[in-house]
Amino acid sequence: MAAKKLGIQIVYQEVDMALMPNLTVAENVMFNDIVMNMKGKLFVDYGKLRREAKKVLEELKINIDVRQICGKLSLAQKQMVLIARAIQNSCNFLILDEPTAPLSDTETEELFRVVKHLRETQNIAIIFITHRIHEILRICDSYTVMRNGEIVDTTPITEATTSKEIVEKMLGRSFEENFPKEVCEIGEKALVIENLTEREGRVKDINMYVRRGEIVGLAGLVGGGKTELCKTIFGAYKKASGKITMNGKELRIKKPADAVKNRLALVPEERRKEGVLVAETVTFNLAAACLNRFCHLSFVNDGAAAKNADKYVKELGVKTPSIRQRVAFLSGGNQQKVVVGKWLAADCDVYIFDEPTKGVDVGAKQEIFRLINDIAKAGNCVIYATCENSELLSITDRMYVMFDGKIMAELETAKTDEAEIMHYATGATEAYAAS
Amino acid sequence: MQINKSKAKFLVDWAAVMVLIISVIVFTAMRGTAFFSFANLINILRAVSAVTIFALAATVSMAPDGFDMAAGTLGSFCAYVFASLFLWFAMPLWLSVFLTIIFAMIMYLLNMFLILVCKVPDMLATCALQFVHQGLGLAYTGGGAISAGMSTAAWAEALKGGDNTPLRSGWTEASQNIGKSPYIIIIMLICVAICFVLLERTKYGRYLYAMGGNKTAAKLSGIDVKKMRFMAGMFAAAFIAVGGIVVCSRNSAAQVNGSDSYLMNSLAAVFIGRSVGGREKYNAIGTVIGAILITTLENGMTMCGVPYYILPAMKGAVLCLALVAAYITTKED
């Protein structure tokens, strides 16, 4: 409240935390107004509310109906509503926490345009928090690097500033720019998906295959249907039709429990909400997918589970004071390692990763890549979904580009580039012609 | 600062035990041996037993983030069924108990249908079911209590060809023993042991707690969350049936809505038990401590002359305090 009075506005990374999904866009955009400027007033003037909200959205050049219920918007649209809310107020300082994470490239451009506009015309100072270093170079005047809750360095950005320099400050050590892909031996086709369609139509007519030892990417923008495809394969979303076969044998997957029985693993996008059990210990999290192995007649053998936890904590380099630590107290990267460890312990055949590097620092990212590579090297199938094209280009062997729940193209990683991926990811159906 | 924090945490974690000890000292000081005697201890433990059994049902429901507001009314219904099977139809005691547990499980299918198939939130579904249980229960008994020597309901009369005298004229010694010490305490201890082993020692317990922490993550870890919730529900139903039988035997009759009042006490016991020893989880041992605390307070206050009609306010206040202890540490976001 005090911060708001001083004109400090913040747009959080977790958009769903800040929005009221049951209210309209207009009410959400004007929410601060309703809360702060209604003293002594009883009735809300909805006509005025909608007009003002519309004006703000128009300024941002966002095409959203102000009468729409916020819960029905896409992630990128919700983000835009929040930004609109922030600038609607008298605002001197604007803090943007990972604002571009859910945005596509065009939406990011839009955001940058608005940010520049705000700085130039309204004299607003902006703090831009992000993992995407090229964005800092593009729109920031100076940057501050933080590591382990401490400020490492604050420097103005000049022509000579490079992303490598920033990354090195973030890591506290030098680091090779791209992850070197290790060559794995690729075997025969193992996982084959034919005509897979999800019941609500979020995924349509998917045909794909993964060979042993192969890392297959799922490319596409946010909202392209990558997460939905991962969840449909895993049984978390119900399929309407289609066939999933593993080594020629059809898998009957109606719910995630069936998927795990068939040795499929999913590292979901929303780590804290879907991946780890934050209230439970590292030991239990690492045993959650294969507790049967540590049980005798349904009774848990704590010793065996602890041994399992010790093994994977050491193998994956999870930084935790003890295996009895609750996972809530671990950092994002270490939580992610625990999620991966859970599936390694379960000894699966197919590993599906959905944005595994989201909210993970650069150092942990490298370790996660190494892990995924090792998983593939052991002859498993890996599906890797992300909207970070650079990650796809450095770690996958092959990729499928998705748009609107459909696969638009299949690309060989060695023979493609970012431009071609974006060409298909934005919905183009004609063949790509390199310029 | 660090020391203060850990001290404060210690106080919250063991508040229930300390309140228990203090209240025993205070009641003893006020009433002397009338309170602090072997006879009264047994008296308290008998009351604890019934509360604990209902509270265990709530514990297994709540471990996977479920809830059951209709446990009390289902318990009353189970008591009607038990009494009618035993008195009206003169079934052997073991068969009456067995059939009552089966009956509770069948009735619980309705809870599970609403919660798992229709996806109604637990709290609302069981809130509605309270009234279903109350109405159906009294329809079953013909509108009144079931006790020794009273004539049967009309449907039972028709079933027996127009004879409205119950086949068994009174309670047997064995059936009365269920509600007496030491049997009632032994029954409670068996239930506690079952609940403890289920939640603490088996994989099912881990799954239930995992669901309680984060249902989506549990589901995506390959835990069959619906199956687990169903299993928890069936255990809850069995505990509720046993609770209904115990209360029926203590009262020597299946009184109208006889178990309904146990709901409040049992919920208070579960919430008190949640924070005992810093577990932060609904657990069997904590629940027992909670039940002992709330029953001791009730017993001691009654002895000190607090009128029975004020007691609910005291119990409600204890429940509030337990909830405060459980939620005050929740981080604000």
Which candidate, B86, B92, B168, B141, places its Cα nearest to that of B256? Answer: B141
CA end-to-end span of chain B, whole Å?
23
Which of residues 324 through 353 in chain A touch B, CB cutoff 8 A? 342, 346
> Is residue A146 left, alpha or beta, with left meaning phi > 0 and alpha meaning psi from -120 to 50?
beta
Which candidate, A288, A176, A194, places its Cα nearest to that of A246? Answer: A194
Q: Strands B146-147, B253-254: parallel, antiparallel or unpaired by DSSP? A: antiparallel
Of A17, A260, A280, nearest to B213 by CB-CB distance is A280
By the 10 Å C-beta count (0-12 exposed, 13-18 middle, 19+ buried), B19 is classed as middle
Kindly tell me the sign of the dihedral angle through the C-alpha atoms of B141, B144, B145, B146: negative
Say if residues B235 and B66 touch (Cβ distance below 8 Å): no
Chain A residues touching residue B209 (CB < 8 angstroms)? 279-280
How many CA atoms are closer than 13 Å to the CA of A153, on its beta-carbon side? 11
Q: What is the DSSP letter of B254?
A: E
**Whether pLDDT at A392 is above 60:** yes
- Angle between the N-to-C axes of helices B71-83 and B225-251, in degrees from 0 to 180, rounded to the nearest 10: 50
Domain B12-327 sits in CATH 3.20.20: no
Which of residues 205 through 244 in chain A touch B, CB cutoff 8 A? 234, 236
d(CA A55, CA B186): 72
Which of residues 196 through 235 in chain B touch A, CB cutoff 8 A? 197, 201-207, 209-210, 212-214, 216-224, 226-227
d(CA B138, CA A166): 75
Q: Does A276 touch chain B (CB under 8 A)?
A: yes
How large is the average pLDDT for residues A384-409?
A: 88
Of B206, B207, B214, nearest to A278 by CB-CB distance is B214
What residues form DSSP beta bridges with A264?
A: A350
How large is the average pLDDT for residues A229-243?
A: 91
**Whether pLDDT at A208 is above 90:** yes
Q: Chain B: give the shortest CA distance to residue A435, in Å.
A: 43
d(CA B41, CA B239): 24
Domain boundaries, chain A: 2-140, 189-425
Of B203, B210, B222, nearest to A259 by CB-CB distance is B222
pLDDT of residue A74: 75
**Whether pLDDT at A110 is above 70:** yes
What residues form DSSP beta bridges with A398?
A: A216, A412
Say if residues B259 and B83 touch (Cβ distance below 8 Å): no
pLDDT digits (tens, 9 = 90+) for A170-181: 766 544 445 666
pLDDT of residue A420: 83
d(CA A425, CA A77): 18
Q: What share of chain B is helix, strand, coil (3-state, %, to 5)?
A: 75, 0, 25
Domains A2-140 and A189-425 fall in the same CATH topology = yes
d(CA A271, CA A278): 10
Domain boundaries, chain B: 12-327
B221–A278 CB contact, under 8 Å: no
Q: Could you say which architecture CATH assigns to the domain A2-140? A: 3-Layer(aba) Sandwich (3.40)
| Tokens at B184, concatenated | 């009632």
Work out the number of other CB atoms within 10 angstroms of the CB of residue B267. 25
d(CA B9, CA B2): 11
Q: Chain B: give the shortest CA distance to residue A376, in Å.
A: 21
How large is the average pLDDT for residues A273-299?
A: 85
The lowest-confidence range among A47-51, A236-240, A301-305, A424-428 is A424-428
Q: Chain A: give the shortest CA distance to residue B144, in Å.
A: 44
pLDDT of residue B11: 79
**Whether pLDDT at A306 is above 70:** yes
Of B202, B214, B333, nearest to A277 by CB-CB distance is B214
pLDDT of residue A175: 45
Chain A residues touching residue B280 (CB < 8 angstroms)? 279
pLDDT of residue A434: 60
Domain A189-425 sits in CATH 3.40.50.2300: no
pLDDT digits (tens, 9 = 90+) for A17-31: 778 888 888 888 887
In what helix (H) or strand (E) does residue B195 lie, and over which residues does it extend? helix B183-196
A256–B220 CB contact, under 8 Å: yes
Q: Chain B: give the shortest CA distance to residue A230, in Å.
A: 11
Q: What one-letter code names the amino acid at A355?
A: E
* Three-class DSSP category at B89: coil
d(CA B123, CA A138): 52
pLDDT of residue A69: 84
Q: Does A298 touch chain B (CB under 8 A)?
A: yes
Chains A and B form CB pairs within 8 A to the count of 83
Optimal mutation site among A277, A329, A355, interface B, most CBs of chain B within 10 A: A277
In degrees and rounded to multiples of 5, residue A40 shows phi and psi of: 85, -15
Across B237-249, b (16+ Cβ under 10 Å) vs e yields: bbbbbbbbbbbbb
pLDDT of residue A176: 46
A278–B210 CB contact, under 8 Å: no
How large is the average pLDDT for residues A52-67?
A: 82
A256–B333 CB contact, under 8 Å: no
ipTM of the complex: 0.72
Q: Does A278 touch chain B (CB under 8 A)?
A: yes
Percent of chain A residues past pLDDT 70, beyond the cut: 94
Residue in the structure block whose two tokens are 């202890």: B325
pLDDT of residue A101: 67
Chain B residues touching residue A275 (CB < 8 angstroms)? 217, 220
Say if residues A358 and A271 touch (Cβ distance below 8 Å): yes
In what helix (H) or strand (E) does residue B9 lie, and over which residues does it extend? helix B2-13
pLDDT of residue B331: 63
A280–B333 CB contact, under 8 Å: no
Percent of chain B residues past pLDDT 70, beyond the cut: 98
Q: Which stretches of chain B drop beneath a pLDDT of 50? A: 1
pLDDT of residue B3: 61
Task: Show Cβ contacts of residue B87 under 8 Å, excluding neighbours closer than 6 positions.
Answer: B146, B147, B148, B166, B167, B168, B170, B171
Q: Residue A114 — very low, low, confident or very high, per pLDDT cuts 50/70/90? A: confident
* Three-class DSSP category at B223: coil
Q: Does B282 touch chain A (CB under 8 A)?
A: no
pLDDT of residue A148: 66
Q: Chain A: give the shortest CA distance to residue B213, in Å.
A: 6
pLDDT of residue A80: 79
Q: Does B279 touch chain A (CB under 8 A)?
A: no
pLDDT of residue A50: 87
Which candidate, B193, B195, B191, places its Cα nearest to that of B60? Answer: B195
pLDDT digits (tens, 9 = 90+) for A259-274: 999 999 999 988 888 8
